[in-house]
Structure 1
Amino acid sequence: MRKNVLITGASSGLGAGMARIFAAKGHHLALTARRVDRLEALRDELLAANPGIEVVVHALDVNDHDQVFEVFKKAAADLGGLDRVIVNAGLGKGGRIGTGKFYANKQTAETNFIAALAQCEAAMEHFYERKSGHLVMVSSMSAMRGMPSSMTTYAATKAAVAHLAEGIRSDLITRKGHDIKVTTVFPGYIASEMNEGVQQEAKMMVDTETGCKALVKVIEREVVDAAVPTWPWAPLGQVMKHAPLAIVRRMV
């Protein structure tokens, strides 16, 4: 059992939802985010509901790359090592390319990819030392193809982190005598603070708890990759990969 779990971006949305489920399963947690007040409230909630676990919280802006390494080391020391790291922190800002939204797109690119790279570096250093661990990358179904308008940069970053995870997985093939796994999850429409304004796809959106249960189930199986929830996103993912771009535009 991967007992000690670190989750970035854990103050709300999918990060907080997964934390609640892992806590109920008896995992010890290291939760990080910028909003420490929310983390502390979540920690208190989890400890009250699950008195047998340990929960530590750390303020972390993932764009402060030195801080990423420092916080991961502190969390590992707090819990006696990390067994699983979930790279979840992300941003959904952006605009159509060429419409003056460069700085919003740049912020999303830096948060979703460069900061994810820092998190992977910190996590894998720890796992290589221990010869054990589970790296989980939270991508998105939007990574299947180039997306239009405000989703263009976001989708590109999520495709990038999926390839980053695959490259790390490839390196592990050549290493012997370890128990290190890498999983990439591709969430579909799961209700969260990031997408609370999305209405047009409500028919395919599941609530946060349902979505997070599906995510945790896949993560604990330590699969290579998975669309979450499986229905309808696994078959839709295949359509998105191969359909004409004009059709893909109408699916988002």
Structure 2
Amino acid sequence: MSTILITGASSGLGAEMARQLAAKGHDLALCARRTDRLDELSDEILRAHPDRRVAVRALDVTDDDAVFRVFGEFAEQLGRIDKVIVNAGLGKGARIGTGGYAANRATAMTNFVGALAQTEAAMEIFREQQAGHLVMVSSMAAMRGMPKEIATYAATKAAVAHLAEGLRTELYGTPLAKTVKVTVLYPGYIISEMNDYAKPTSPLMATTEDGVKAMVKAIEKQVADACVPPLPWGPLSLVMKHAPLPVLKRMI
């Protein structure tokens, strides 16, 4: 089995990915700002799977130096890092031009600049190992420019998807493409701490467990990209990309 580094692992999708991947036999490197929650998660996983290795570190992904240091410490402690899941992110925001720049900037710095640092740090490890798997957690919101409070969030998620896809294009046709894989995940409406007020009252809203199950399946298959859960988000992605603006506005 492999050793998997997950950022933003203290809650929500990151924590549930850790649980499900540990159950499948993988060792874990977990980092987030809230170390108390990481410690609780580590204890939970080790109680259920005593043979797993779980390393934890505090990490704010907007601290560039810390990203490179923590990734390096994980690689040294665990021997290697086989997969890096770039998951840490913010969902806050405000309508453009309404005085909410601080919230939009925080989302942009965490979701894109922070993801860039994580990608750089991961690829340094993978290039040295000559192997690895980068998993970028984007969003269905990346399929099209989104309005109102999620405009900046959607833009950052489109940006990180393009960053990962650009890396895949760079690797294509090179020897490294055989051993370094890049996956972009586009989660739909999955209940997490970011939207814990929501309830799965429609087919569009998945529970955390079911949504992450689809994410883990795509990760283990090392697919290039995946809308998760695949139903209804695979077909809906085509509608979101190509619907005329008046239709799109009614959808969202």
- TM class, shorter-length: over 0.9
Does residue 1:81 correspond to 2:72, yes or no?
A: no
- Corresponding residue of 2:115: 116
1:52-71 residue CA offsets vs partner (Å, 9 max, x unmatched): 11001000000001000000
Read off the aligned partner of 1:218 and give its amino acid letter. Answer: A
- Structure 2 gaps of 5+ residues are none
Deviation at 1:249, TM superposition (A): 2.5
- Corresponding residue of 1:244: 244
Read off the aligned partner of 1:214 and give its amino acid letter. Answer: A
Q: Distance in 1 between matches of 2:10 and 2:46?
A: 15
- Corresponding residue of 2:172: 173
Equivalent residue of 1:5, what SS? strand
Asked if the contact 1:147/1:249 (under 8 Å) is kept, the reply is: no
1:1-252 matches, within 5 Å, as 1=1, 3-176=2-175, 178-198=178-198, 202-252=202-252
Read off the aligned partner of 2:12 and give its amino acid letter. Answer: G
Asked if the contact 1:211/1:228 (under 8 Å) is kept, the reply is: yes
Q: Distance in 2 between matches of 1:201 and 1:245?
A: 27
Q: Distance in 2 between matches of 1:161 and 1:41?
A: 30
Q: Distance in 1 between matches of 2:249 and 2:59?
A: 35
Deviation at 1:129, TM superposition (A): 0.6
**What's the C-alpha RMSD, in Å, of the aligned pairs?**
1.3
Normalization by structure 1: what TM-score? 0.97
Read off the aligned partner of 1:90 and give its amino acid letter. Answer: G
1:113-137 residue CA offsets vs partner (Å, 9 max, x unmatched): 0000000000001001111000000
Q: Distance in 1 between matches of 2:201 and 2:103?
A: 24
Deviation at 1:174, TM superposition (A): 4.2
Asked if the contact 2:200/2:206 (under 8 Å) is kept, the reply is: no
C-alpha distance 198-245 of structure 1, shift in aligned 2 (>3 A): farther
Asked if the contact 2:11/2:193 (under 8 Å) is kept, the reply is: yes
Equivalent residue of 2:110, what SS? helix
Q: Distance in 2 between matches of 1:207 and 1:197?
A: 12
Equivalent residue of 1:26, what SS? coil
Deviation at 1:246, TM superposition (A): 2.5
Asked if the contact 1:62/1:68 (under 8 Å) is kept, the reply is: yes
Q: Distance in 2 between matches of 1:53 and 1:181?
A: 24
Q: Distance in 2 between matches of 1:64 and 1:201?
A: 38
Q: Distance in 2 between matches of 1:201 and 1:94?
A: 25
Read off the aligned partner of 2:79 and give its amino acid letter. Answer: G
Q: Distance in 2 between matches of 1:65 and 1:111?
A: 11
Deviation at 1:50, TM superposition (A): 0.4
Q: How many residues align?
A: 251
- Structure 1 gaps of 5+ residues are none
Equivalent residue of 1:194, what SS? helix
1:15-36 residue CA offsets vs partner (Å, 9 max, x unmatched): 0010000000110000000000
